[in-house]
Chains A and B, each alone.
Chain A
Amino acid sequence: MKGVKVDRNLILRVADNAKLSLTDKEIDEFLPQLKEVLEFFSSIDEVDTKGIEPSTQPVEIRNVLREDVVKPSLSQDDALANTEHKKDGYFKGPRAV
């Protein structure tokens, strides 16, 4: 996509969406790098893809369905085994509002 203005503001917007806070040093380093690779990536603009379907997988995969019945899975203890923040059998998260 030629003509995209890759600047500080764009990086900050993208980083915010990605839940990353970048330092000024990181932004100064990333900016010219991202400009270089995005310009390189833009070369795919010139490939004719009229009428071509996007391939979300490299091989054909069919829907895999199973009976809707309950089977044993991860226990609550196992699910919570790796968290430091839990309470009464639940994950304890940060404030949502």
Chain B
Amino acid sequence: MIKEFTEKIKSREIDVVQHTRKVLNEIKTLNKEYNYFNTISEELALEQAEKLRSNPKGRLAGVPISVKDCIVVKGVESTAGSRILKGYNPVFNATAVARCIDEGAIIIGKTSQDEFGFGGFSTNVGLDYKVPLNPFDKERATGGSSGGSGGISQKASFPHVSLGESTGGSIVNPASFCGVFGLCPTYGRVSRYGLMDYANSLDKIGPMSKSIEDAALVLEIISGSTSRESTSLNKPVENYSSFAGKGVKGMKIGVIKDAFAEGLDDAVRKKVWDGIKKLESEGAKYEEVSLPLTIKYGLSVYYIIATSEASTNLAKYCGMRYGKHEKLEGSFNEYFTKVRSKHFGKEAKRRIILGTFARMAGFRDAYYIKAMKVRTRIINEYKSLFKKYDLLVSPTVAILPPRFDEINKLSLLQNYMVDTLTVGPNLAGLPHLNVPVGFEKKGGKQLPVGMMLIGDHLQEAKLIQAGSVFGR
């Protein structure tokens, strides 16, 4: 879709300024109803379009790109969905954003999310923010935390890719609930420079789109190391988009049987199995495999590590250098405490408390260090399966997109459990892809079901091959 579109931009068959205006009008109207954007960057988008009109070039010439609010865009308010960063205007672009702009992309806005990524439904938005609504049923959640990115990717009538971000499943989960492709790459494949950290040993930036080929093209553009970010991997970047349509003949697929256990919605089970059979009919072979340690302990390990890292990463938000400020009075302790207590939302406070506890003297070895040791065993569990299989498969989320009244009734632990199937590949830094595999009718609405494919480190190309079996 993007390839044909950029040709029309370059041949001037489509006027990039007119097209951008049309896109801005569409997303403004959509936003009133669905809350997919925290900020629409109209001025920047039109400025980029004007510049491109005189010299249309790049692999993303004129393509509207939306960006999760936690990824910084120069001159556009970027808050990670938190009131504590209200008013923050970054003075630089994240590497992923800069690389898209260099290829002619038009940045249309910052998408809504759980505050700092703290959620699986996008209902934990920061104070004063609006919750995004599922594109298929406004009484249901988009999934999270990249909920705005998932919603706009589904609703956009124009060629579009969103830059999402995942710490424990925040790309594939909303992609599943919104019925789009979401590709979370290997840890370090895409530079985190300019990404506001949630948990820096887990955070990854990745594309979400209705088209797997378009998502692959954007991944190919944003991947690669930078000297500005020491955990970005210095490994060659493949032409990911060229793998769309290559098929799965001869691929060996491991079906994670522990993920099909009790608690899985019957409709999800059926549609995911239909997806597996489809891969088989295209020439892949599958066997059932087991990840007992990952499925049983992954969630605990994830929440201990993620909240520990989050509690240190969020220490910098204290009303000094950016975002919300208060009148300077009292000691630094009193001032920082005042700013933080007033402007962090409830879930941010809870996760700071959990993470600070897990790192405190007396508890650190039993929680934080122990969790990192169990993570090593989880990584080993996956690695031993990848000696034999090209890809692993499971449902992305065990349930259909829930209604908001259902989410409100969940306990905190039940709320965290929505991440059960997605934390594994995130803990192990493995690339994973949500593939929309069908719809289930519920309450008169068609709700999407997602299947998750997991690859070995740096095997994004295989995910794209398998994903494109389900439409490019």
Question: Which residues from chain A sit less than 8 Å from chain B, CB to CB?
Answer: 1, 4, 10-11, 14-15, 17-22, 26, 30, 33-34, 36-38, 40-45, 47, 49, 52-59, 61, 64, 66, 74, 78-79, 81-85, 91-97
| Residues of chain A contacted by B427 (CB below 8 angstroms) | 58
B264 at interface by CB-CB < 8 Å: no
Q: Which of A30, A59, A64 contacts B186 (CB 8 A)?
A: A59
User: A74, B91: Cβ atoms under 8 Å?
Assistant: yes
B429 at interface by CB-CB < 8 Å: yes
B158 at interface by CB-CB < 8 Å: no
Q: List 22 A-B contacts (CB under 8 A).
A: A14-B353, A17-B360, A21-B341, A36-B411, A36-B413, A37-B412, A42-B300, A44-B300, A47-B297, A47-B377, A49-B377, A52-B376, A55-B375, A56-B201, A58-B187, A58-B375, A58-B379, A59-B187, A82-B323, A94-B331, A94-B334, A95-B331
| Residues of chain A contacted by B293 (CB below 8 angstroms) | 47
User: B332, A95: Cβ atoms under 8 Å?
Assistant: yes
B157 at interface by CB-CB < 8 Å: no
With most chain A CB atoms within 10 A of its CB, the pick from B88, B353, B427, B430 is: B353
The A-B contact count (CB < 8 A) is 173
B17 at interface by CB-CB < 8 Å: no
- Of all chain A residues, the one with the shortest Cβ separation from B430 is A58
With most chain B CB atoms within 10 A of its CB, the pick from A17, A42, A54, A58 is: A58
User: A96, B331: Cβ atoms under 8 Å?
Assistant: yes
| Interchain CA distance A44-B302 in the complex, whole Å | 11
Given contacts A4-B363, A44-B300, A94-B330, 12 further A-B contacts (CB under 8 A): A20-B344, A26-B349, A37-B416, A43-B300, A49-B374, A54-B373, A55-B372, A78-B91, A79-B321, A83-B320, A91-B321, A95-B331
A55: min CB distance to chain B, Å: 4
A64: min CB distance to chain B, Å: 4
| Interchain CA distance A59-B296 in the complex, whole Å | 22
| Residues of chain B contacted by A38 (CB below 8 angstroms) | 354, 357
Also in contact, A1 and B335, with CB within 8 A (given A18-B311, A54-B375, A61-B188): no
B366 at interface by CB-CB < 8 Å: yes
B384 at interface by CB-CB < 8 Å: no
B328-349 contacts to A (CB < 8 Å):
328-338, 340-341, 344, 346, 349
| Interchain CA distance A37-B88 in the complex, whole Å | 33
B270 at interface by CB-CB < 8 Å: no
| Residues of chain B contacted by A94 (CB below 8 angstroms) | 328-332, 334-336
User: B356, A55: Cβ atoms under 8 Å?
Assistant: no
| Interchain CA distance A20-B341 in the complex, whole Å | 5
| Residues of chain A contacted by B300 (CB below 8 angstroms) | 40-44
Could you mark each residue 419-432 of chain B with 1 if its beta carbon is under 8 Å from any beta carbon of chain A, else 0? 00000000111100
- Of all chain B residues, the one with the shortest Cβ separation from A26 is B349
B457 at interface by CB-CB < 8 Å: yes
- Of all chain B residues, the one with the shortest Cβ separation from A51 is B373
User: A19, B336: Cβ atoms under 8 Å?
Assistant: yes
| Interchain CA distance A28-B328 in the complex, whole Å | 30
| Interchain CA distance A45-B300 in the complex, whole Å | 11
| Stretch touching chain A among B108-116, B141-149, B225-233 | B225-233
User: B377, A52: Cβ atoms under 8 Å?
Assistant: yes
| Interchain CA distance A19-B320 in the complex, whole Å | 14
B21-50 contacts to A (CB < 8 Å):
none
User: A66, B227: Cβ atoms under 8 Å?
Assistant: yes
| Residues of chain B contacted by A44 (CB below 8 angstroms) | 297, 300-301, 304, 370-371, 374
| Residues of chain B contacted by A84 (CB below 8 angstroms) | 325
B202 at interface by CB-CB < 8 Å: yes
| Interchain CA distance A18-B372 in the complex, whole Å | 22
User: B297, A55: Cβ atoms under 8 Å?
Assistant: no
| Residues of chain A contacted by B231 (CB below 8 angstroms) | 57, 61
